[in-house]
Amino acid sequence: MHASRMPAKRMLRSISGALAAIFLAVGIAAAHDTWLLADSGETEIGKPVLLSLTSGDGFPLDETAIDPVRVVRATVRVGGAEARLPAPQTAAHALRYSWTPKSEGLAAVAIELAPKTLVLAPDKIEEYLGEIDATPKLRAEWKALDGKRKWIESYSKHAKTFVRVGTRAADSSWARALGLGLELVPERDPASLRTGDAIGILVLRNGKPLADFAVGAIHEGSDKAAFARTDSSGRARVTLGSAGKWLLNGTLIRRSANPKLTWESDFTTLTLRVH
């Protein structure tokens, strides 16, 4: 039947179904990690650094550009001084920030995104729980709902990286949290990592240590994470067994008090370079 002759109700159902399918696909894709990565791990005063913010599951490739409207905070701290990142430019597969350092030190750069909602298809839920190394408690909470609720999740994202500016070793401001809602804080100089090094990671939720939280470690080109859980002090230890780029990640999910939602969550990432 030609579209112009299709009954209105049938056409509406067809359009609605297509939109729903698109929403689900976009929602699932949006739930993948979002990371921040500089074009180089080192730079000099006065030399611009290009930082890319992207979402996907193929780290470190740029995959999906972030809508700049979603960015609620974009900040950089170097030598103890913090400033906003300049306004970004949207590229085909990433949001690009160009930042020119004015002082030496180890720059900590972070971006936070406003919440967004996804509806997860039933056949994707177990895969999702496995990808985030879900706790038995979370799995039990979902099982207890016994199909009475759809998986509707409002998620916020937090991304962080580091860039060495010059050679000054006195800057220890990298060790202080930037105040993200969910943050991974390295406990040794992240610019001095070598193959096989182990690094302690302190996980903070709203500035407080978070126990029993899964920190994933993904080497560039891999699609699987090796997990380490935080202890009672919110610390986990991760071994970086290969040279190259690494993505550390974690997802915190909890039941939502909003009757329109099932869950609320925070995704956090930290990118590192190992020499």
Question: What pLDDT band is residue 11 in, cutting at 50, 70 and 90?
Answer: very low
CA distance 254 to 273: 31
Q: What is the model's pLDDT at position 168?
A: 66
* Mean pLDDT lowest among 7-21, 77-91, 103-117: 7-21
Phi, psi dihedral angles at 7 (to 5 degrees): -55, 145
Instruction: Give me 64's structure tokens.
Output: 């999906």
Task: Give the pLDDT mean for 222-238.
Answer: 95
Residues 49, 205, 255: CA angle, nearest 5 degrees = 120
Write down the residue that tokens 């112009």 correspond to.
4
Task: Indicate the pTM of the whole model.
Answer: 0.88
pLDDT in tens, 185-228: 999 999 999 999 999 999 999 999 999 999 999 999 998 899 99
User: Do 163 and 174 form a contact (C-beta atoms < 8 A)?
Assistant: no
Question: What pLDDT band is residue 274 in, cutting at 50, 70 and 90?
Answer: very high
Question: What pLDDT band is residue 13 in, cutting at 50, 70 and 90?
Answer: very low
Query: Which residue, 167, 164, 132, is CA-closest to 269?
Result: 132
Peptide bond into 60 cis (omega under 30): yes
The top-scoring range by mean pLDDT among 8-12, 24-28, 159-163 is 159-163
Question: What pLDDT band is residue 260 in, cutting at 50, 70 and 90?
Answer: very high
Examine the pLDDT at 6 and tell me if it is beyond 80.
no
Residues 162, 168, 171: CA angle, nearest 5 degrees = 60
Q: What is the model's pLDDT at position 20?
A: 40
Task: Give the pLDDT mean for 39-56.
Answer: 96
Q: What is the model's pLDDT at position 224?
A: 87
CA distance 156 to 186: 21
Question: What pLDDT band is residue 116 in, cutting at 50, 70 and 90?
Answer: very high
pLDDT in tens, 66-75: 999 999 999 9
Instruction: Give me 101's structure tokens.
Output: 């350092």
Instruction: Give me 79's structure tokens.
Output: 């030598």
User: Do 244 and 272 form a contact (C-beta atoms < 8 A)?
Assistant: no
Examine the pLDDT at 16 and tell me if it is beyond 90.
no
Higher pLDDT, 7 or 65: 65
Examine the pLDDT at 1 and tell me if it is beyond 90.
no
CATH of 31-274, one of 3.40.190.10, 2.60.40.10, 2.60.40.420, 3.30.70.1450: 2.60.40.10
